[in-house]
Chain A
Amino acid sequence: MTAEPILQIRGATRRYASRNASLWRRRFLNAVDGVDLDVNEGETLAIVGESGSGKSTLAKLMLRLDQPTEGAVLYRGVPLPDLDRRQWRTYRRDIQAVFQDPSSSLNPRMRVEQSLGYVARRHELAEPSRLRAFLAGHLAAVGLDPPERYLSRYPHQLSGGQQQRVAIARAMMLEPRLIVADEPLSSLDISIQAQVLDLMRDLSRRRNVGFVLISHDLNAVQSIAGRIAVMQHGRIVEIGADIFDAPAHPYTRLLLEARLSVDPREARQRLGRPTNARTSRDGSGKQPDATASPGREDAGANASGSVSQDEEFRSAKEK
């Protein structure tokens, strides 16, 4: 890890004219609102938040797919618009993107070999005679084996997970220092998610590739991220390595509490006794029988206190 971050975001704001704007009254929305963020070499930084929190806009700013209204994004200390030709070229190679929907980020009319070959030729990654072997090697590296079989396929002949692997291979070919992945998991089945996460973990360990992982899935992020940033309304409200263990910001806590438990006992208890489920977890947590059937009946009546607005509203009506 070098001292200088690979990407620095300095007071970046991206303002959009609001969709509800009229001729007379223009309204604006700060999708990203004064964000300061350093991305270090080789680190895996996760950005989490709900839809509309600005995390994808932030990714676009990093990739220079969009430009900040105010502030700047710096690549190795140089603001992106000021990069000269040579620096621009290295930036383009160093920072790669992987998107949510792999089927729309691969050209449906090109075989995998053509799609990847185009990039390889453009960046002169391999001798034309060795191109096929070069591509095959990169497909094998992302677990597409035997690679020759996948080279001749069209994207629609691949599963979602395989497409996402091709997209990752395309990014990895250029030996980037940082991959910005915008919801790379959310269109994938859970078993494929695990494989892609393992792949990312492996790449970051063996090749020291950094990741900016944008996701709404806190569980997936937690297992892989070095640092986690929580975004809300265009701002980073909390950032750190262990904010899930010790959340300081109420929004982080809210997100964590909204996670569904895969433990049905715990979930039943949470639903069955919404008022004090969280505070008295250890007190009554080991009584599965009490939660199984009769406990569910009185739940509606007890609903008040710390639960969602919905349930508060309901119980207020009932009284």
Chain B
Amino acid sequence: MSGGAANAGAALLEVRDLKVHLRVGGAIVRAVDGVDLTVMPGESIGIVGESGSGKSTLARGILKLMANVELAELQGDVRFQGKDLTRIADAELRALRRHGGFSMIFQDPLGYLNPTKRVGTQVAEALGGKWFAATRRRVEQLLEEAGLPASAQLARRFPHELSGGQRQRVMIAIALASEPALLFADEPTTALDATVQLQVLKTLGRLHRDRNMAMVVITHDLGVVAELCDRVYVMRSGKVVESGDTVELFENPRHPYAAQLIELSTRHRRPGPSAPGAAPSVPASPAEAR
């Protein structure tokens, strides 16, 4: 929240000079190139940037969810609840994921839900339990907390029987099962319709407040950040170009790239034409725009 940086000793997550370099084909891509990031307990952080800025890789680098890439280099300090995640034993990492540590939700819930299992079963799995009466009650509680009414019935459905918004809520319920201190949300509402998006964002905001759960929201949409985040980091080409309090940064961006993102996001909200005569002379890619 507001006075975050003051009591730096109690940071929930502290990332110092994190580098995640990937091997893609023969080349090395510096997807994350020296990022510092701090999350206080109960704080909500936004990471914004365009595609390829490294924002998702940053989250995966922190959480060690890098199974499907070839790492060229992973270095830096990642301290979560005082533990160094870069040097942590696998068993300890699993324990963090199982209870009280961190969870993650993704843009495309269908890709992360098992299509052959009822959603209730999948939430129960996240609880680490079988389908006992106590588990069932807890599953229903979690689904309800994620904003799904009539849970008993809904728990018996399969992922394909649910709408996109409902699926994302199931993912949220699964994420909540481990009582995380920190929730990573990678483009949580990008695939959803506008009206559903607002509802899911409200749910996330409520969970953030009610559970005093810290959040890191990764998104390309500044509106999502404005809606959810206390502080924001703006990323570009693997680096954080600017960070700060959301209100301050949005109203008074110092870095030209941050300013441009904000300008572009606000400009289409105004009726009428934008900058006159800009069209054919505009550079073809954002890299050339500088």
Among B199, B226, B264, B280, the residue within 8 A (CB) of A190 is B264
Shortest CB-to-CB span from A139 to chain B, Å, is: 10
B199 in contact with A308 (CB, 8 Å) = yes
Interface SS, B side: helix
B273-A262 in contact (CB<8A): no
Closest CB-CB distance, A291 to chain B, in whole Å? Answer: 9
Interface size on A, residues (CB 8 A): 67
B70 → chain A closest CB, angstroms:
20
**Separation in Å of the B77 CB from the closest CB of chain A?**
29
Whether A50 pairs with B193 at a CB distance below 8 angstroms is yes
**Count the B residues whose beta carbon is within 8 Å of the partner chain — how many?**
60
Nearest to A308 among chain B residues (CB) is B199
**Selected contact of B264 from candidates A194, A255, A259, A299, CB within 8 Å:** A194
- CB contact between A292 and one of B2, B209, B220, B228 (< 8 Å): that residue: B2
Closest to B193 in A: A50
A residues less than 8 Å from B144 (CB atoms):
317
CB pair A144 B284 closer than 8 Å? yes
Q: Contact at B206–A143, with CB atoms within 8 Å?
A: no
The answer to whether the Cβ of A119 comes within 8 Å of any Cβ in the partner chain is: no
> Across the interface, do B284 and A254 meet the contact criterion of CB distance under 8 Å?
no
Main secondary structure of the interface of A (DSSP, over half): helix
**CB within 8 Å of B: which of A77-117?**
none
**B247-A219 in contact (CB<8A):** no
Do A223 and B272 touch (CB < 8 A)? yes
Distance of A200 from chain B, by nearest CB (Å): 8
Contact present for B279 and A223 (CB under 8 Å): no
Give A103 Cβ to nearest chain B Cβ, in Å: 13
Is A167 an interface position by the 8 A CB rule? no
Q: How far is the CB of B72 from chain A (nearest CB, A)?
A: 22
Q: Is B242 engaged at the interface, CB distance under 8 Å to the other chain?
A: no
B1 x A308 contact (CB < 8 A): no
- On chain B, the residues within 8 Å of A190 by CB distance are 50, 220, 261, 264-265
Report A172 CB to chain B, min CB distance, Å: 12
Which residue of A141, A191, A267, A314 is within 8 Å of B206 (Cβ)?
A314
Q: Which residues of B contact A264 (CB under 8 A)?
A: 225-226, 229, 246-247, 250
Q: Are B226 and A309 in contact (CB under 8 A)?
A: no
Q: Collect the chain A residues with CB atoms within 8 Å of residue B272's CB.
A: 223
Check: B202 CB closer than 8 A to any chain A CB: yes
| CA A69 to CA B17, docked complex, whole Å | 61
Is B281 touching A161 in the complex (CB atoms < 8 A)? no
Does A311 interact with chain B (Cβ within 8 Å)? yes
Chain A nearest CB: distance from B204 CB in Å? 10
Residues of A within 8 Å of B170, CB to CB, are none
Is B149 among interface residues, defined by CB-CB distance under 8 A?
A: yes
Residues of B within 8 A of A160 (CB): 51
Question: Are B209 and A267 closer than 8 Å at their CB atoms?
Answer: no
The answer to whether B226 and A260 have CB atoms under 8 Å apart is: yes
Bound Cα distance A268, B147 (Å): 20
**A143 close to B199 (CB less than 8 A):** no
A262 touches B268 (CB 8 A): no
A267 CA / B284 CA spacing, docked (Å): 33
Quote the shortest CB–CB distance from A20 to chain B (angstroms).
Answer: 10
Does B7 count as interface, using CB distance less than 8 angstroms? no
A271 to B284, alpha carbons, bound, how many Å? Answer: 38
Per-residue B-contact encoding for A230-262, CB less than 8 Å = 1, 0 else: 000000000000001100000000110111111
Q: Which of A223, A245, A255, A311 contacts B195 (CB 8 A)?
A: A255
Nearest CB of chain B from residue A202's CB, rounded to whole Å: 3
List chain A residues, Cβ under 8 A from B198.
257-258, 260, 308
Tell me the chain A residues, 178-227 only, with Cβ under 8 Å from chain B: 189-195, 197-199, 201-203, 216, 218-220, 222-223
Minimum CB distance partner of A143 in chain B: B280
Q: Known: A143-B282, A258-B197. Contact between A201 and B267, CB under 8 A?
A: no
Instruction: Give Cα A216–Cα B195 distance, bound, in whole angstroms.
Output: 11
Q: How many angstroms from the CA of A128 to the CA of B56 in the assembled complex?
A: 47
A282 CB within 8 Å of chain B: no
- B289 interface contact, C-beta 8 A: yes
Chain B residues close to A by CB (< 8 Å): 1-2, 50-51, 144, 147, 149, 164, 193-195, 197-199, 201-203, 205-206, 209-210, 220-229, 246-247, 250, 260-262, 264-275, 277-286, 289
* 7 examples of A-B residue contacts, CB within 8 angstroms: A244-B271, A260-B197, A260-B224, A261-B223, A288-B247, A303-B206, A317-B144
